[in-house]
Amino acid sequence: MTDPQFTGYDGVLGLKPQNGSSFIEQLYSQGFIDEPTLGLFLKDKDNYLDSELMVGGFDTSKMKNKDALIWMKLPQRDYWAVSLKNAQFGDEQFMMSNQNYVVEFNPNQFYISVPRDDYRRLVVLFLKNHGEGIESCKLSICKVKDKCSDFPKKSAIRFTIGAEQEIFEISSSVYLIDDEETGGCILGVIGTVQPKQNKYIFGSIFLSRYYSIYDQKNQSIGLTLNRDYSEYDAKINIPVHLIVLTCISALLFLICLVSIVIFSIKKVLKQKNKENNKTTIQDIDSQYSFSTFSKRTLSPHHQNQHEFQQNNQYIINAGSADNRLISLNYLDNGFDGISKINGNSDSGIMSSQYRVQELKEHLM
């Protein structure tokens, strides 16, 4: 923006809280928004929610606990900042001066910036028990050769801010940043604030941990923990219509799968039935073997009682318990008759005519 009033700490939207001159104040005075308030949510690397700037209010759904919201008055009207009372690495203080320090909130900056003397003290505390893996911790930035995931867990950094002296902290998983270029790890606190400026600057590293509200009417800043919207939360909060479509698709797939299984089973059973029928006929053929019949195959007793033609006669060995023999008088068009010969008794000629297949069915 080129308006001369959008200068200094205005930021991208020109939100510097001056009476009747800031961008947010103009929107409010013209009735475009209900309140001259901003709500800022910045996502971190593990959060599935998108970053959001709400103009004219704030979004409680992005807060972990809206009842834990803490309000702090602005000590000055010229920029968004609150008083800083202390800064600690674990339980040890690294803020070297107790003069009137303030914390400036600046989402346009990534790191947490501190005065150089405070930074040097922080580095000394940070390097305890891990000096061998340090690549460089000179002047303003500290790099570690190891990946952040391999780096030993470090103490949290705590800030005591506001007239109420509320404590806000960030863990090592937040202030240790993966360096994609070198594969190492970077300390998210840098020593770039000039001496005598007496301020800390909280960039997006801090603001991705806390939901911040900027209330111009009441000249105050509100802070509370961001909602930690993980991958699991994202999965269990799938829109209802997507769940319904997924269920319908799964049901249709199940129906198709069952139909395919049933069809396959029927096909297999049908094939087995065919094979069983074929086996039955083959068993009959093997059990009732046809061979040329002659009088020499009969006992004298049978030869005296029955006369058989020498040619074109057949015998079937039924393989039954009584060892019966069935002689078939073969004709060109089928079987003319059946004579059953039993080892103990005689039987007469059956007058019914059978064809080969009918005979097999009869025997079955």
- The tens digit of pLDDT for each residue in 276-315 reads 666 555 554 554 444 433 333 444 444 444 444 444 443 4
Classify each residue of 147-180 as buried b or exposed e, where b means 16 or more C-beta atoms within 10 Å of its C-beta. Answer: ebeebeebbbbbbbbbeeeeebbbebebbbbeee
Q: Considering only 7-16, 126-135, 167-176, which range has the smallest mean pLDDT?
A: 7-16
- How high is the pLDDT of residue 280? 56
Candidates 2, 44, 6, 47; CA nearest to 25 is 6
* CA neighbor of 193 nearest in space, from 128, 106, 85: 106
Tokens representing residue 314 in the block? 């057949």
pTM over 0.75: no
Give the model's pLDDT for residue 80: 84
pLDDT at 132: 56
From the list 121, 126, 141, the residue with the least C-alpha distance to 190 is 141
Element (H, E) at 187: strand 185-187
Count of Cβ atoms closer than 10 Å to residue 113 Cβ: 21
Cα–Cα nearest to 55, from 32, 74, 71, 76: 32
Q: Which residue has the higher pLDDT, 19 or 188?
A: 188
Interatomic CA distance for residues 231 and 47, integer angstroms: 8
Question: Do the strands 141-144 and 210-215 form a parallel or antiparallel pair, or are they unpaired?
Answer: unpaired
From residue 239, give the alpha-carbon distance in Å to each of 63, 236, 242, 245, 292: 20, 9, 5, 10, 84
Residue 115 identity: P
Q: Please tell us whether the domain made up of 23-233 is placed in CATH 2.40.70.10.
A: yes
| Two tokens, residue 335 | 């079987």
Band (pLDDT 50/70/90 cuts) for residue 146 is confident
